[in-house]
Structure 1
Amino acid sequence: MSQTTPSLENNPVEKTSQKWPLNFIHTTLSELKTQRGITLPLMAMNVTWFAKLAITTAFQGRLGDLQLASGTLAFTFANVTGFSVLNGLSGAMEPICGQAYGAKNFKLLHKTLLMATLLLLLTTLPISLLWLNVDTILIHFGQQREIVIVAKKYLLYLIPDLVITSFLCPLKAYLSSQSITVPNMISSCLAVAFHVPINPLLSRAKGLEGVSMAVWITDLMVMIFLASYVVIAENGKGGRWKEGGWWDQGVHDWITLLKLCVPCCLTTCLEWWCFEILVLLTGRFVNAKQAVGVLAIVLNFDYLVYSVMLSLATCASVRVSNELGANRAGLAYRSAYVSLAVSIALGFIGGSVMVAARGLWGPLFSHDKGIIRGVKDMMLLMAVVEVVNFPVTVCGGIVRGTARPWLAMSASLGGFYLLALPLGIVLAFKVRLGLGGLLAGFLVGMVGCLVLLLVFVARIDWVEEARKAQILAGNVEEKTVEEDGGDKEVVS
């Protein structure tokens, strides 16, 4: 039975009696409404996640300067070597599960959830060994022994969070790829509400180790809530548990997952690591204490804005992958460009908000006039970075939804590491522009990254991507048969 692929023009789903521009306005508004339903709960979830980090940092600071420095160092090490890797690997679920859901292949959804969880659990083993030897590593790189010893204790008590995250990340991706985002939002809000009272209790009882325990206990609550929701929803009326597929993994399935895991992981890690390198470079300035303080305060605002970007990127990935899986090339095209247009608009809004808040944000964190003045200046430059960063992040979500995350990886590698960091170092240390030079280099690299991604998105053949999605989602086999005249077509 032959499987034909619709073109952008003859997609039956998009046929309507309305003429352009009424048809264009109607379909765009419909897409915006759909994306709003996905994005707003994700935004709430991401904002609460960053709020949890701020609460954790606040309680570390209450224990003293040594505990604050050690906790910050330990959590930075944990992000770089652990959580960025696990989050990146789980990103491979988005295109597979998203396209499987669009194609109504629930068996593929089930086995991908199980495979991703097993993969992340295996990955925690080498990460745990690395954390057990964190003192040797950090001292080798010149960190103070006193701080490192306390940081190791923090990390030892944080190891359970690796196992919890190995379940939590796949569960979140499994639900969001089906446009189910409200449970993620509710669980995160409840967890943060619980995180506030549990921190003083555990910090008084166990000190910094208690703050570390509060982190994974809160994540455990979210994981239990989401796992319970999945089990109840899948087993309930109209549930899909009976579809099975949980243990149907084959070698081909693992190869497909791993091929997507590597670029997804590298893309996430390259982005996370770039910000950490930025902080480390700031520590090499003559006025390092003030420069690091300014950057930390500016990045705190950036994290809030980034929570919106991340939500938009996930929404773009979900919408594109769902429509491609459903073999609707035209709707996938529309979803991608609506997402991109929204990201550009919100980029200008985010930048404007940062400009408006630059005189108010610094005094919330410091009374030092030099730091306040530095924050005011750097937030002006960072606002321009945000305008560019919004479409960069969303373009990454679009190419991830097409199951080609290596495009985002290539853009991140070229923009951040081959352009932004070298140029930033030259401007900051050779031209002596300081922190402003670093951020200026970062801005140029971000523009380069955006140009690459826009070229990648513009060159996407949506009909071909829809055809590939049918293969990835298991609807058709990748075979060709010779028809009369030598024509080739995909055969189910």
Structure 2
Amino acid sequence: MESPLLENNEDEKQLSSYVKRFGIESKKLWKLAGPTILTTVFQYSLGALTQAFAGLVDDLDLAAVSVENSVIAGFAFGVMLGMGSALETLCGQAYGAGQIRMLGVYMQRSWVILITTAILLLPLYIWSPPILKLMGQTTQISNAAGKFALWMIPQLFAYAMNFPIQKFLQAQRKVLVMLWVSAGVLVLHTFFSWLLIFKLRWGLIGAAITLNTSTWLLVILQLLYIFITKSDGAWSGFTWLAFVDLFGFVKLSLASAVMLCLEVWYLMILIVIVGHLQNPLIPVDAISICMSINGWDAMIAIGFNAAISVRVSNELGAGDFNAAKFSVLAVSITSVSIGVIAMIVVLSTKNYFPYLFTTSVEVAKETTKLAALLGVTVLLNSLQPVLSGVAIGAGWQSLVAYINVGCYYVVGLPAGIILGFVLRFGAEGIWSGMIGGIVLQTTILIVVTSMTNWKKEAEQAETRVKKWGGSIAYDQ
């Protein structure tokens, strides 16, 4: 019989080993998440800066840029980002499996699919004025935003190139390249936005020139890096293999797009629904303030989403299912801890932060009333995107798309409408119901993740890489 002292020593050793392993995994995650968070902030700031400079010149220009950015380009951005996210699964697993050459092939396949998607989205840009009028925008704003949307078509095709490039680089953990390129482009964008929009007063034309040029500059600089360095063997030139088995690639891309778009659009719908309340101006302003804070907080979640997607796909591709499983645990603990801190900050400053966005006492009071719901939302949004990142890394996009439809649009949205309009709880009721959908979705994803057979996932990753071109490339 072992003595209690020996048992305690054994427990201490196991705890010490666990803490050490957690520290190593956290370091790996932060090396990916930190630069990704900054990259996301820098690239998000391109549109925000253009919008700010346009607002300094003319109110109509501000409205045109805002509506085009949030509605037309926002819709296209969500679709293209979702379609490109299939590459996270395939590139990450191929990199983990050591089939480096396939990353370049996968990126080219994604280019083919996303450029085709961009062509299919062109009617949205060309006929945006009647679409915007149908959504309730005034004729003046719809026409101005429609003109700006036509000038922003080059950005649409830059999206088609940029998202696959970023997933290609992320899978190889080359996130610092993306960070430095984004930082450099943001500096140039700031100067030329000031020069063309504010100083020279070129208005919407200046806004279009700077935003299109900056987005394409991101693409060109990253491509130059890839073409010159060969990306450690991941890029071996253009190949006809890019057109092999496109159907399977399209299926995964569509599942990724549906999964991410359903998530991105869910809270965007909140503002639209609140706009149908009686006397909606104050609630809409308050919800908008809360969504702005939630949007900036989401930058951290997006970083961890990308990090865990890379870690899981790399480890599954390498066949190390235990490492993938531990990585999920480590990132969940880290992100929830950050979510708790964010929630505490929101709740402790609820009487003060509204005045950073408004001078209206009524709007500030309404925002303070909604702060508790904002706190719950930032906490949930610390874990939910991480679980989505796990899904992308493992290739569960189709499953999560079905879960999102059920939880968000069958449960959450109707619950919000009933609480807000039928039971007359207003904006708080609408948001509470929609939070219920997020809680249900997060709970289901926790159950799915905890019940996952990670060994089987690693075997499926190996099959996926072989099926979608790995064996072709290496049999040549």
Scaled by the length of structure 1, the TM-score of the pair is: 0.88
Point out the structure with the larger helix share: 2
- Aligned partner of 2:63 in structure 1 is 69
Within-5 A mapping of 1:274-293: 274-293=266-285
Q: How does 1:465-480 map to 2 (within 5 A)?
A: 465-474=457-466
What does residue range 304-383 of structure 1 map to in structure 2 within 5 Å? 304-383=296-375
The structural deviation recorded for 1:412 is: 1.8
Offset of residue 454 of structure 1: 0.8
Farther-moved stretch of structure 1 (149-158 vs 44-53): 44-53
**Residue identity in the other structure for 2:69:** F
> Given the alignment of the two structures, is residue 224 of structure 1 paired with residue 227 of structure 2, yes or no?
no
Q: Shift of residue 96 of structure 1?
A: 0.1
Q: What corresponds to 2:443 in structure 1?
A: 451
Aligned residue number for residue 181 of structure 2: 187
Q: Report if aligned partners of 1:187, 1:225 keep a CA contact under 8 Å in 2.
A: yes
Cα distance, 1:189 vs structure 2:
1.6
Deviates more, 1:100-109 or 1:207-216: 207-216
Which residue does 2:241 correspond to in 1?
Answer: 248
Cα drift, residue 50 of structure 1: 3.1
CA distance in 2, matches of 1:181, 1:29: 20
Q: Which moved more, 1:63-72 or 1:376-385?
A: 63-72
Aligned to 1:213: 209
Q: Which amino acid aligns with 1:164?
A: A
Mapping of 1:8-47 within 5 angstroms? 20-47=14-41
- 1:407–1:453 Cα contact (<8 Å) kept: no
Deviation at 1:19, TM superposition (A): 5.4
- Return the match for 1:85 from 79, 83, 95: 79
Of 115, 133, 137, 2:131 maps to 137
Which residue of 1 is the match for residue 191 of structure 2? 197
Pair 1:476–1:449, CA change in 2 (3 A) = closer
How far 1:239 moved relative to its partner?
Answer: 4.1
SS at match of 1:286: coil
Unaligned runs of 5+ in 1: 1-17, 479-492
Quote the Cα distance in structure 1 between the aligned partners of 2:469 and 2:153.
42
- 1:108 paired residue number: 102
Q: Which amino acid aligns with 2:116?
A: L
Per the alignment, in what secondary structure is the counterpart of residue 437 of structure 2?
helix
Does the CA contact (< 8 Å) of 1:50 and 1:303 recur in 2?
A: no
How far off is 1:172 after superposition?
A: 0.7
Per-residue displacement from partner, 1:34-86 (whole Å, max 9, x unpaired)?
A: 11111110111122233333323322322333333332222222245311111
Q: Please say if residues 274 and 416 of structure 1, whose CA atoms lie closer than 8 Å, have aligned partners that are also in contact.
A: yes
Output the CA distance in 1 between the equivalents of 2:102 and 2:55.
Answer: 46
How many residues were matched structurally? 458
How far apart are 1:314 and its partner, in Å?
0.9
368 and 25 in structure 1: CA distance in 2 versus 1, 3 angstrom threshold? same
State the Cα distance separating 1:477 from its structure 2 match. 11
Q: Deviations over 1:445-478 (max 9, x none)?
A: 1101111111111121111111111111229999
> Structure 1 CA distance, aligned partners of 2:384 and 2:151?
36
Which position in structure 1 is the counterpart of 2:6? none
SS in 1 for 2:466: coil
Matched residue, 1:59: 53
Percent identical: 25
Residue 438 of structure 2 aligns with an amino acid whose one-letter code is M
Partner of 1:234: 230
Alpha-carbon distance, 1:380 to partner: 2.6
Partners of 1:405 and 1:208 lie apart in 2 by 38
Which of 94, 114, 117 aligns to 1:120? It is 114
Q: Cα offset for 1:365?
A: 2.0
What is the CA-CA distance between 1:21 and the residue it aligns to? 2.7
Task: Provide the TM-score with structure 2 as the length reference.
Answer: 0.91
Q: Is the CA contact 2:108–2:242 (under 8 Å) kept in the aligned structure 1?
A: no
Change (3 A) 1:59 1:357: farther
> Is the Cα–Cα contact under 8 Å of residues 313 and 397 in structure 1 kept in the other structure?
yes
Partner SS state of residue 386, structure 1: helix
Residues 362-382 of structure 1 show CA distances to partners (whole Å, capped at 9, x for unaligned) of 222221111112222223321
CA contact (8 A) 1:70 1:150 kept: yes
2:107/2:168 contact within 8 Å kept: yes
CA RMSD of aligned residues (A): 2.2
Q: Which residue of 2 aligns with 1:174?
A: 168
For the pair 1:396 / 2:392, whether they are aligned, the reply is no
